[in-house]
Amino acid sequence: MANLRDAIRSVMVPIHPDGWKFIALFFIAALVMDRFSTLLGLIGLVLTVWCIYFFRDPKRVTPTRTGLVVSPADGIVQAITERTPPEELGLKDKMTCVSVFMNVFDVHVNRVPTDGVVEKIVYRPGLFLNADLDKASEANERMSIHTVLPDGRDMAFVQIAGLVARRILCNLHEGQAVKAGEKFGLIRFGSRVDIYLPKGVNPQVVLGQRMIAGETMIADLSDSKTPAMTGEDRAA
């Protein structure tokens, strides 16, 4: 019996609490659609299954070594640029920004990238352009978070709504102490997260790399002299 329970748990991934109301709505819609057509009912059922899949919240194992920066989101590294964080945070210097793009099939639960204290949180309404566009960082609806690391350095990460995303959830508050890998929010449905590394810290990821929130290392805060990796370095 214990083996059966373990087998079920290994298949049944937990669902984020925010997802249950959507799953219920999709299921009710599927029942209504089925009254008109079996095909429509089947389509509704497929969409309900997709909704369950979208709101999955799998367990993650975060590296415990001090100073590691882990990815705040599942997805693909879409851009690595030098830019100033969102103006509402008041950080004036340019920082290395790593953008992780989430499509509608990725896990959308966001996680804190590293230990620190939340200094400032600012929500800014905006457009809903495709999140893989460069201008989405400035034009789209976003939630910007500024954290101060244990050594006093500044870091920021930004939840950015995408083309079909219509809600950003952030459970953090100013003055809160956070730990790497902790869940802090969710973006519905398809979006991206930008992470701004402290000055002098180089990212250890490359464009196109698949990221796993709370697990994949983006940078090492204790090793700011290590150059950023290139595609050729990784291939070697």
Q: List, for residues 10-50, the tens digit of each pLDDT value.
A: 446 787 777 788 889 888 999 989 888 889 889 988 888 87
The single-letter code of the amino acid at 142 is: R
Average pLDDT in the 123-135 region?
A: 68
In this structure, the answer to whether residues 105 and 157 fall within a common structural domain is: yes
Give which of 86, 98, 82, 96 is closest to 218, Cα–Cα. Answer: 98
Q: What percent of the chain has pLDDT over 90?
A: 47
Which of 37, 191, 222, 224 is an active site residue?
Answer: 191
Tokens for 107, please give them: 């896990």
- Contacts with 179 (C-beta within 8 Å, 6 or more apart), sequence order: 112, 115
Average pLDDT, the chain: 83
Catalytic residue flag (residue 191): yes
CATH at residue 181: 2.70.70
Residue, of 172 and 141, whose pLDDT is higher = 172
In this structure, the answer to whether residues 176 and 215 fall within a common structural domain is: yes
In this structure, the answer to whether residues 190 and 96 fall within a common structural domain is: yes
* 147 part of a folded domain: yes
In this structure, the answer to whether residues 6 and 45 fall within a common structural domain is: yes
Confidence of residue 191 (pLDDT cuts 50, 70, 90): confident
pLDDT at 166: 58
Are the C-beta atoms of 119 and 148 separated by less than 8 Å?
yes
In this structure, the answer to whether residues 30 and 103 fall within a common structural domain is: no
How many domains does the structure of the chain reveal?
2
In this structure, the answer to whether residues 120 and 41 fall within a common structural domain is: no
In this structure, the answer to whether residues 21 and 127 fall within a common structural domain is: no
Residue, of 163 and 77, whose pLDDT is higher = 77
Kindly give the pairing relationship between strand 217-220 and strand 210-211: unpaired
- Domain assignment of residue 35, given as a range: 2-54
| Weakest-pLDDT range from 85-94, 104-113, 151-160, 184-193 | 184-193
* 146 part of a folded domain: yes
Please state, in angstroms and rounded to a whole number, the distance separating the CA atoms of residues 112 and 105. 21
